[in-house]
Structure 1
Amino acid sequence: MAFLPDLSVMLTFAVAALVLAITPGPDMALFISRTINWGRSHGFATVLGALTGIAVHTMLVAFGISVLIVAAPAAFWALKIVGALYLIWLAIQAIRDSGSMLVPKAGGKQPSFAQSYMTGLGINLTNPKVALFFVTFLPQFVSADDPAAASKLVFLGFEFVLISLPIVIGIVLFAEWLTKTLQTNKWVAKALNWSFAAVFLAFAATILLAEGRK
């Protein structure tokens, strides 16, 4: 089936998606906040909204990148280099991050499940880092001369959703424990951040070396 990437690509992407899914960010902080303040159901509604946002990003990137591949192969090559540099930037940010997570205390009227869903969708769609990540990261797993690039990008995007799902469910179920751990044990957060940085740098090096050999 043309839309299926090679097994090695799917497995490599699964590892990358797993690392990215457990990397702390605004979405994760929102899941924790909603769960602590309004309960698991609102946490899950927020998760569903964020995953919907990922699906939207995937579709936009897949068809946008496919046009770019056909129209400007050199621009597609440049985009992959930018992706490697972005991963290096993520590594630097992970090292510099203090590892603390701020979880605001809710007040006022309890939101509806639809409002929690829309909040999750909104924070995902309006987060420029999410958009930039998908634009620069997904293209690393397709070839510029592959006629099925768009369908493979869509497949990988939904693979990312499936890989992320058990992670975000776990975040909601153990939100209170995770929050206390990250706030009171700074060495745990620092160890995680250094691990994330090492993985980002490894992927960046792989991309740059691969492009340098062409």
Structure 2
Amino acid sequence: MFGIENYLGFVMAAILLNLTPGSDSMYIITRSISQGSQAGFYSVLGIISGILVHTLLAALGLSIILANSPLAFMIVKYIGASYLCYLGVKMLMSKQQPLIAESLQENEKSSSAKTLAHWQIYKQGVLTNTFNPKVALFFLAFFPQFIDASYAYSMVSFIILGLTFAVTGFIWCSCLALLASKFSENLRKTPSIEVILNKISGVVFIGLGIKLLTDKV
């Protein structure tokens, strides 16, 4: 149906791949541990939105440019790595008060600021995933194995498979965010501990950026 072969096999493979730890998982865990379940949830939404972007690019054939152009691949790779390092340095240099302590005196102004923070976390998740060229190449290598080469509307097949991958990823990543936030809930209630967690998160982001930069295709 829709040019997709062995859809059940794809679903099983997608679940296994989502369970495999990677940079996206680390981003979600780090956000959840340092800032709580809401931050983790918005980071999940950001990562999944990035997956949808890659799905659309793959369906349109634009990801082939990354596969065939070493220069384009390197540009996207450097942008992604630089952005992760930027986030890490920003968290290390931040002097803002712990989010848990602030929430105890929440008012309309702080609520508005929290909404802005959630939007920033979501946006960072989107950019972190979108500017990882290895995700684009993975989609190009993995999806075609489940698409009938003779099917005339392969774009539809790509989109369906991409949505399926996103749904399985959303379920697993949401569980991951919830578990990570629960694990660190008591720690984050102590302002000094929360500050330390934020600093550790900054180091993790820088590490992810360096890893992306040094990884080979």
Q: Report the TM-score, using the length of structure 2 for normalisation.
A: 0.57
1:207 matched to 2:212? The reply is: yes
Q: Percent identity?
A: 11
Show the 5 A alignment for 1:108-123: 123=115
1:178 matched to 2:188? The reply is: yes
Counterparts of 1:151 and 1:79, CA distance in 2: 25
Shift of 1:190: 4.8
Q: Could you tell me which runs of 5 or more consecutive residues in structure 2 were left unpaired when the two chains were aligned.
A: 1-8, 67-71, 144-160
Shift of 1:106: 4.6
Shift of 1:85: 1.8
2:52 counterpart letter in structure 1: F
Shift of 1:205: 1.6
Shift of 1:123: 3.0
Structure 2 SS opposite 1:203: helix
Q: 1:137 to 1:20 in 2, by over 3 A?
A: farther
Please give the per-residue CA displacement for 1:106-128, whole angstroms capped at 9, x wherever unaligned.
Answer: 569xxxxxxxxxx89x9389613
Counterparts of 1:15 and 1:132, CA distance in 2: 13
Which of 55, 58, 62 aligns to 1:72? It is 62
Of the two structures, which has the highest relative contact order with CA contacts closer than 8 Å and spacing of 6 or more?
2
Q: Is the 8 A contact 2:88 2:205 kept in 1?
A: yes
Shift of 1:161: 0.7
Shift of 1:170: 5.7
Please give the per-residue CA displacement for 1:80-132, whole angstroms capped at 9, x wherever unaligned.
Answer: 54332221011101210236222352569xxxxxxxxxx89x93896133123
CA RMSD, Structure 1 to Structure 2 (Å): 4.0
Query: Which residue of structure 2 aligns with residue 196 of structure 1?
Result: 201
Please give the per-residue CA displacement for 1:44-71, whole angstroms capped at 9, x wherever unaligned.
Answer: xxx5x984x6675565433332111343
Counterparts of 2:30 and 2:169, CA distance in 1: 15
2:20 counterpart letter in structure 1: L
Show the 5 A alignment for 1:127-138: 127-137=119-129
2:83 counterpart letter in structure 1: Y
Shift of 1:206: 1.7
Which of 20, 25, 42 aligns to 1:11? It is 20
Q: Could you tell me which runs of 5 or more consecutive residues in structure 1 were left unpaired when the two chains were aligned.
A: 32-46, 109-118
2:80 counterpart letter in structure 1: G
Q: Report the TM-score, using the length of structure 1 for normalisation.
A: 0.58
> What is the number of residues matched between the two proteins?
171
Please give the per-residue CA displacement for 1:132-183, whole angstroms capped at 9, x wherever unaligned.
Answer: 3234237747314132555334422332211111344467x74xx734x21x
Structure 1 SS opposite 2:103: coil
Which of 138, 150, 160 aligns to 2:173? It is 160
Counterparts of 2:31 and 2:165, CA distance in 1: 19
Show the 5 A alignment for 1:23-172: 23-24=34-35, 28=36, 47=38, 51=41, 57=46, 60-69=49-58, 70-73=60-63, 74=65, 77=73, 78-98=75-95, 100-101=97-98, 102-103=102-103, 105-106=105-106, 123=115, 127-137=119-129, 140=132, 142=135, 143-145=138-140, 146-147=142-143, 148-169=161-182
Shift of 1:193: 3.3
Query: Which residue of structure 1 aligns with residue 6 of structure 2?
Result: none
